[in-house]
Amino acid sequence: MKNFIATIALICTLVMAAGVDAQESRKTTGSRVRTAKASAPPRVASSKDMHISQASYAQVVEGEVIHEGVVHEGVVHEGIVDSGCGSDCGGSCGTEIGAYCGTCATPRGFCICFPSHGWVQTEYLSWYPSGMRVPALVTTSPAGTARAQAGVLGQTGTSVLYGADEDVLDGERGGFRIRFGWWLSSFPCWGIEGEYTGLGAETESFFQQSTGDPIIARPFFNALTASQDSELVAFPAVVSGSIGVDVTSEFDGAAFRFRRQLCSSEGCCFSNLACKTVPWSSRLDATIGYRFWELDESIRIREQLQMLTTTQPGSFDITDRFETRNQFNGTELGFIWQGRRGWWSLEALMRVAVGNVHQTVTIGGNSTIVDNGVTSSFNNGFLAQRTNSGTFDRDQFTMIPEFGVTLGYQLTQRLRGTIGYSAIYWGNVVRPGDQIDLDLNPNLLAPEVTPFAGPLRPQFDFVETDYLVQGLSFGADFRW
């Protein structure tokens, strides 16, 4: 609204300078007309005028209706340009910044003082990430199953209690996103923006224990016999025990970018909904900057066994750990379109980040065995053996596109409520479930058979997949 007031003040000044009679009646359709005094200089609206309540649909200067509609918010067709930044900026700030495409290099008026003309947006995220693939880790069989077939995949009656290539951690996850920035006083139509996005760490846990009924087992492919096999966790009169699986996932990211207005336009239109003439505006911005994303995930499997046979007494505490970390660093390019009509606004963005993802996989295990009162510790578990344990890392080139659309409604002169949708696709990531190799040479189990014989399995190979996170956001932004 302030842009209209300042423009009218400028027109009045030019008219008087050209010697035009300022007292001539002006015709305005649908507005009340006031005759200006030739001897009185045009008055630029004060800050009090600029902050008129949104409850009014008319901005009045010296008793004259200037424009019917609601006050815009922000800067560059988003709202009011500050009326007095001070001497440090050099000049009046009463006119808009780059009203038309391509005029940003020589704006009709420009003044932005830090921290004026800034914005901050906070959002609650209700997002759904891609689930993590997990192989069959825990199985069971009905009572009466022979020991050799208990928990073995492919045998009649065997069912999977956890895993079986199913996706885990694919439900709704809460988080937040904050964006903040401001327009630069020394570079017309340029701004800077920061962003942080975080989804809280999500954990899924599975736990099962038994004294032998029901049967519990850990399936694997026996590399010695080239057939499916299992390790018993609970079986009648043989072993009792428990097994737990904990899966975690955490996703967050940050960005710093420059924002450049490419073009904009504005005007007035009649709103059938409001039955009034309301302002509309449209603008297109480009962004370029730095983008960081990180995805940390892990799977931890722990079993505790107590032997029930008198010929093989003892207890076992066995743990496997599979951890992955994906860290992306790259350049981000994007476009943001914003449209406003009265109280409502719509924003659409499309960005793509191009750069390097550093993949890290850590596999480890440990076993504690108590045999006849003697405790022994080993640096291997069940699926984490010396053949695949360690930390492995590498760098991969990738691209991460992002799409978003946000609907907003002006709640106050500077506060807007928003609801939006976002989607981020990340290729070339490593996830812990994909790094588990179920091929196992039983001779590697602690204590390892000496002399060792048979294939070196399990083994490690980088297995890549993709990661998609999408969902709704609910928030508000404040502009000053």
Comparing 1-5, 435-439, 471-475, which segment has the lowest mean pLDDT? 1-5
Antiparallel, parallel or unpaired: β 227-234 and 464-479: unpaired
Where does residue 64 rank: exposed (0-12), middle (13-18), buried (19+ CB within 10 A)? middle
Residue 81 has pLDDT above 60, yes or no: no
pLDDT score of 271: 67
How far is Cα 200 from Cα 215, in angstroms, rounded to an integer? 36
Domain assignments of the chain as residue spans, ordered by start: 119-479
Where does residue 209 rank: exposed (0-12), middle (13-18), buried (19+ CB within 10 A)? middle
* 50, HSE (Cβ side, Cα atoms, 13 Å): 21
Residue 82 has pLDDT above 50, yes or no: no
Residue 304 has pLDDT above 90, yes or no: yes
Q: Read off the pLDDT of residues 222-278 as tens digits, 9 standing for 90 and up.
A: 999 999 999 999 999 999 999 999 999 999 999 999 999 999 888 887 766 667 777
How far is Cα 440 from Cα 451, in angstroms, rounded to an integer? 17
Greater confidence (436 vs 53) lies with 436
- The model's pTM: 0.76
Structure tokens at 178: 């904050």
Beta carbons of 207 and 242 less than 8 angstroms apart:
yes
pLDDT score of 342: 85
